């Protein structure tokens, strides 16, 4: 199903009317965080040995050296009930040594640690949530257990006559607890990863309270899920910047039936829109092919760019009319800035190979009258010079092209038409200095 939206003028008017929200610059989470999480590979089947071993694999496989530094425990680590004094208890069966010993061991590897809770009465798997215990739990997670990051979920919402506040208030309670604790102790605050699933436009408000916010329901290990998430984020990718990032959920590379091309597309999109990058597969049996994707330093460099905090955005939908909502066929042509040049991302959502052609000046970051050196970030090759346009030939089904274009000087003289500047609505409106309109 596809739904054609309002058209470009109305969309632009809407986007420019969106109220700005200042990012929470509290010293943590300037760039998208990277690491590993238990959920996609293990769900509730977790224990302290598995978590510590996974941390060791991040180091031994060379992933930690590339920035994968967080080892995050998701749901199901706790006992079903709080202690008599009101604290969450780590499962005596699955974490018998206690959380503090585990985090100390992980920190000794040079890594950081993350824990999970929920803004409601319970977690999504019906373990104790943090509602009305935010200050207590923030202190427990950071000061007693030693965690560095908190993923905060959205299940088990209290009844209206209890909570008497909206989604923003529900998540601001823990944000306030984290901030107050940092002020009291002088320690860096917990990195706060809001998991609201994109239900009430977190891209508009969540940056005030945390460093990332989930934009969709849980990811699946299949192409349909990946394509649907890409489609959803195409309307909101503008929202990521330093200290605040759209979260597209944990990576499924190495899981399910995703093939190599689909996995590359998955990793490229998550990286280029500046989503957190959390590996979600079993690192004890990870394939060399999956590792080659996780370890693509040229793709990671875009995600972790220290100069440009914004990600890529679509400049043309391609298969559909622009601004069409189509979970099977998201936007094809994307571009954005980086410290080293203009980034382009081309996605073939079809089930057959496709040529993907675009005019360079369709991207707002390209200068008319210039030529550009082309770097392919997956083949790691320099592919000549692009003048006015680029055509990616035979892009595989569900595949991606990731390019870095760098200014290579003036384009050759005498090219026709004299004006190739792209206008989406008509022929180009270029005019000679004497007032004569230049035909395209």
Q: Which residues are CB-contacts of 382 (< 8 A; sequence separation ≥ 6)?
A: 373, 374, 375, 376
Tokens of 222: 């299949």
**Looking at 53, 65, 187, 218, which residue is catalytic?**
218
**Looking at 75, 118, 148, 153, which residue is catalytic?**
153
Q: Which residues are CB-contacts of 186 (< 8 A; sequence separation ≥ 6)?
A: none
Residues forming beta bridges with residue 20, ordered by sequence position: none
DSSP three-state, residue 336: strand
Tell me whether residue 218 is one of the annotated catalytic residues. yes
C-alpha triplet 270, 274, 275: angle, nearest 5°:
55
Q: Which residues are CB-contacts of 304 (< 8 A; sequence separation ≥ 6)?
A: 31, 32, 34, 67
E strand or H helix at 180: helix 167-185
Query: For 20, which DSSP code?
Result: P
Number of Cβ atoms within 10 Å of the Cβ of 352: 8
The most distant pair of C-alpha atoms in the chain lies apart, rounded to whole Å, by 85
Residues forming beta bridges with residue 351, ordered by sequence position: none
- The set of catalytic residues is 153, 218
């Amino acid at each position: 199903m596809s739904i054609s939206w309002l058209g470009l003028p109305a969309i632009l008017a809407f986007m420019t009317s969106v109220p700005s929200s200042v990012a929470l610059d509290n010293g943590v989470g300037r760039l998208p965080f990277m690491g590993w999480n238990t959920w996609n590979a293990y769900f509730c089947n977790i224990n302290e040995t598995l978590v510590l071993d996974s941390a060791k694999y991040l180091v031994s496989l060379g992933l930690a050296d590339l920035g994968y530094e967080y080892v995050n425990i998701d749901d199901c680590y706790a006992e079903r009930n709080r202690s008599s004094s009101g604290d969450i208890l780590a499962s005596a069966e699955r974490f018998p040594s206690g959380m503090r010993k585990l985090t100390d061991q992980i920190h000794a590897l040079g890594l950081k640690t993350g824990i999970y809770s929920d803004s409601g009465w319970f977690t999504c798997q019906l373990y104790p949530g943090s509602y009305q215990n935010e200050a207590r739990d923030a202190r427990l997670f950071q000061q007693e257990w030693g965690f560095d990051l908190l993923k905060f979920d959205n299940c088990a919402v209290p009844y209206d006559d209890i909570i008497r506040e909206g989604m923003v208030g529900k998540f601001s309670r823990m944000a306030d607890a984290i901030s107050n604790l940092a002020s009291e102790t002088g320690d860096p605050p917990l990195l706060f990863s809001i998991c609201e699933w994109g239900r009430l436009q977190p891209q508009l408000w969540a940056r005030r309270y945390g460093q990332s916010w989930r934009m969709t329901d849980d990811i699946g290990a299949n192409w349909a899920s990946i394509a649907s998430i890409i489609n959803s984020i195409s309307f909101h990718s503008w929202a990521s910047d330093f200290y605040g990032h759209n979260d597209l959920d944990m990576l499924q590379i190495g899981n399910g039936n995703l093939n190599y091309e689909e996995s590359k597309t998955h990793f490229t999109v998550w990286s280029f829109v500046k989503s957190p990058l959390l590996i979600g597969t079993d690192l004890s049996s990870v394939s060399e092919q999956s590792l080659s994707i996780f370890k693509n330093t040229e793709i990671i460099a875009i995600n972790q760019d220290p100069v440009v905090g914004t990600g890529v955005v679509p400049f043309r939908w391609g298969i559909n009319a622009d601004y069409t909502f189509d979970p099977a066929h998201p936007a094809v042509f994307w571009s954005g800035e980086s410290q080293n040049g203009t980034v382009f991302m081309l996605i073939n959502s079809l089930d057959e190979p496709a040529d993907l052609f675009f005019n360079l000046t369709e991207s707002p970051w390209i200068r008319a009258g210039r030529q550009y050196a082309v770097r392919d970030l997956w083949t790691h090759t320099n592919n000549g010079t692009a003048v006015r346009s680029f055509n990616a030939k035979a892009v595989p089904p569900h595949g991606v092209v990731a390019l870095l274009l760098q200014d290579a000087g003036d384009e050759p003289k005498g090219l026709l038409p004299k004006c190739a500047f792209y206008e989406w609505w008509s022929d180009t409106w270029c005019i000679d200095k004497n007032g004569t309109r230049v035909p395209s």
